[in-house]
Homo-oligomer: A and B are copies of this chain.
Amino acid sequence: MDDSVARRTRQGGRGGNARRASGFQLEQRPWRVPRNTDRPVEPVDEAGVQAIHAGAMRILSDIGIEFLNDEALTILRDAGCRVDGQNVRMDADFVMEMVGRAPASFTITPRNPARQVTIGDGYMAFVNVSSPPNAWDLVRGKRPGDFATFREFMMLTQAFNCIHIAGGYPVEPIDIHPSVRHLDCLYEKLTLTDKVCHAYSLGRERVEDVMDMVRIAGGLSHAEFEAAPRMYTNINSVSPLKHDFPMIDGALRLARRGQPVIVTPFTLAGAMAPVTMAGAVALSIAEGLAAVALLQYAAPGCPVGIGTFTSNVDMRSGAPAFGTPEYMRATQITGQLARFYGLPLRSSGVCTANVPDGQAMWETSNSLWAAVQSGSNMVYHAAGWLEGGLIASPEKFVMDCELLQMIERYMEPDLVATDPESIAFDAVRDVGAGGHFFGCAHTQARYATAFYDPLVSDWRNYEAWAQAGAVETPERAHRIYRGIVDTFEAPPMDPAIREELQAFVARRKEEGGAPTDF
């Protein structure tokens, strides 16, 4: 965090200081939520989609899902579902009627309206890494998450235009007591960033506090807050076949106030789900739609999305593996089902690797391309994730942002234009055999914007790269991370709003924050 840290990086000293002395400048692409123009990859045919759908419906009607939440049981009983203890069975007709109430897309407006994000409608929004307990960086290695590191990740989240949403906590700040952690974290998130925010569904007080803080940060009345999506939550089922109390409680609270809920079962094939991909997806869809049906009955038309977190386990260790062929296919198939139901899809940018090396990048690349191929509308953990989600890394964050920027560029229509000027017949004729295009007018008119300009990639040849210190990718990323954190300026906020937020946090701390059961 201080300058001495940057100087301790392996080869980073001189370059790092020079950069800071001359004022660090993050050269990146402008803010833009990319729109996915690719036809999705569809590994199963129409009959396959129907078979998975039928499997999910049969799970819902014949096996049922356990809701460990009395309010949900009451609602679903009222809706005509068959409730037996905590087990709820629902018929396909009811589920599909409820699913039909959900909007195909929705727009979330954070305190800075310029950072509005549409979930659905072909858009692809990227979310920072969320929820690892630990951090790892090149200088400090692996260590438990703390509040200072949490703040650093918020700065990275704000600094990169290709990160559209400030999701969950990038690291769990264990130096803040759990009863007030959400207050401190949200205060930092709402002041260090101006992007769409997330609330953990971890108990009534936390959810209500976060909604109040987002409302205050946006300068909104309660009515204004509830009139349109301003934030969201993501809930996970307890696979197989279970939804627990706090997740459903939080989801209901948000849905009733018009705030979006993403339902993401964590169906690891071979562990919490069948070993076959179609089976794991069918279970994931059943669990996801059970929650969607509940929310649509309780708050008709509320914005929802389904998430996929289906992957395989390493059969040697039982640990989850990410970015595998199995993960890619499960994500693509879930995309087919999401389109079948007309719901936005969330997937992730995930890997199993422990450090930001080659393995980390091929695994992350696999999962990010699966996000593209599945038509995912929201990509969690899109930057910064390591060790199957147990580590958040700032270097990995920067490296992943290169991939995200490339996906953004990949989606731009000018890249694939075929108008006569793009076909460039005249330029080919004018340059002629053996000529060179760099100097020609056609190139000169376009060269500044024709090609993707890299963020952390080094495109020099080996000798130039070696002469400059042979700095490998994680170290280059480390310098960018330090540059961002060392020169960070928070986005503007009305002082009155800041004071109101501070007062809210102070009051809620005095009240004891949220109850903790540990």
The reply to whether B422 and A472 form a contact with Cβ atoms under 8 Å apart is: no
**Stretch with Cβ within 8 A of B (4 or more), from A58-66, A497-505, A507-515:** A58-66
The reply to whether B279 and A462 form a contact with Cβ atoms under 8 Å apart is: no
The reply to whether A432 and B48 form a contact with Cβ atoms under 8 Å apart is: no
State A406–B333 Cα separation when bound (angstroms).
17
Whether a CB of chain B sits under 8 angstroms from the CB of A238 is yes
The reply to whether A275 and B460 form a contact with Cβ atoms under 8 Å apart is: no
The reply to whether B473 and A358 form a contact with Cβ atoms under 8 Å apart is: yes
Known contacts A410-B328, A416-B329, A458-B353: A279-B432 contact under CB 8 Å: no
State A472–B43 Cα separation when bound (angstroms).
33
State A271–B434 Cα separation when bound (angstroms).
11
- Chain B residues within 8 Å of A245, by CB: none
Whether a CB of chain B sits under 8 angstroms from the CB of A317 is yes
Whether a CB of chain B sits under 8 angstroms from the CB of A423 is yes
- Chain B residues within 8 Å of A325, by CB: 406-407, 409-410, 415, 452
The reply to whether B39 and A42 form a contact with Cβ atoms under 8 Å apart is: yes
The reply to whether A447 and B270 form a contact with Cβ atoms under 8 Å apart is: yes
The reply to whether A447 and B275 form a contact with Cβ atoms under 8 Å apart is: yes
Give residues of chain A (431-470) contacting chain B, Cβ–Cβ below 8 Å: 431-438, 442-443, 446-448, 450-453, 456-462, 465-466, 470
Closest B residue to A395 using CB positions: B358
Whether a CB of chain B sits under 8 angstroms from the CB of A94 is no
| Distance between A114 CB and nearest chain B CB, rounded to angstroms | 25
Chain A: residues with Cβ within 8 Å of the partner, total of 126
- Chain B residues within 8 Å of A269, by CB: 437, 450-451
| Distance between A231 CB and nearest chain B CB, rounded to angstroms | 31
| Distance between A317 CB and nearest chain B CB, rounded to angstroms | 6
Give residues of chain A (347-373) contacting chain B, Cβ–Cβ below 8 Å: 352-366, 369
Which of B42, B438, B470 makes the CB contact (< 8 A) with A318?
B438
Known contacts A270-B450, A366-B406, A424-B279: A433-B357 contact under CB 8 Å: no
The reply to whether B416 and A333 form a contact with Cβ atoms under 8 Å apart is: yes
State A426–B37 Cα separation when bound (angstroms).
39
Closest B residue to A242 using CB positions: B433
Which of B39, B136, B359 makes the CB contact (< 8 A) with A41?
B39
Whether a CB of chain B sits under 8 angstroms from the CB of A343 is no
Known contacts A406-B325, A452-B324: A277-B48 contact under CB 8 Å: no
The reply to whether A451 and B361 form a contact with Cβ atoms under 8 Å apart is: no
- Chain B residues within 8 Å of A391, by CB: 462
Whether a CB of chain B sits under 8 angstroms from the CB of A179 is no
Give residues of chain A (253-278) contacting chain B, Cβ–Cβ below 8 Å: 269-278
The reply to whether B415 and A277 form a contact with Cβ atoms under 8 Å apart is: yes
State A282–B422 Cα separation when bound (angstroms).
10
Known contacts A276-B424, A448-B315, A452-B326: A433-B241 contact under CB 8 Å: yes
State A503–B285 Cα separation when bound (angstroms).
67
- Chain B residues within 8 Å of A364, by CB: 362
- Chain B residues within 8 Å of A356, by CB: 358
Known contacts A366-B365, A410-B325, A415-B277: A474-B358 contact under CB 8 Å: yes
State A51–B278 Cα separation when bound (angstroms).
41
- Chain B residues within 8 Å of A276, by CB: 417, 421-424, 442, 446, 450
Whether a CB of chain B sits under 8 angstroms from the CB of A428 is yes
Residue among A318, A325, A452, A470 with max Cβ neighbours from chain B (10 Å): A325
Whether a CB of chain B sits under 8 angstroms from the CB of A490 is no
Whether a CB of chain B sits under 8 angstroms from the CB of A299 is no
Whether a CB of chain B sits under 8 angstroms from the CB of A92 is no
The reply to whether B352 and A450 form a contact with Cβ atoms under 8 Å apart is: no
Q: Which of A's residues lie within 8 Å of B, judged by CB?
A: 37-39, 41-44, 47-48, 51-52, 54-55, 58-59, 62-63, 65-66, 87, 134, 136, 142, 238, 240-242, 269-279, 282-283, 312-319, 321, 324-326, 328-329, 333, 352-366, 369, 387-388, 390-391, 399, 402-403, 406-407, 409-410, 415-425, 427-429, 431-438, 442-443, 446-448, 450-453, 456-462, 465-466, 470, 472-474
Further 19 A-B residue pairs, CB within 8 A, beyond A321-B451, A361-B361: A48-B418, A54-B423, A63-B428, A63-B432, A238-B434, A240-B431, A275-B437, A275-B447, A276-B446, A279-B425, A282-B428, A283-B428, A314-B459, A317-B461, A319-B460, A324-B406, A352-B457, A357-B472, A387-B462
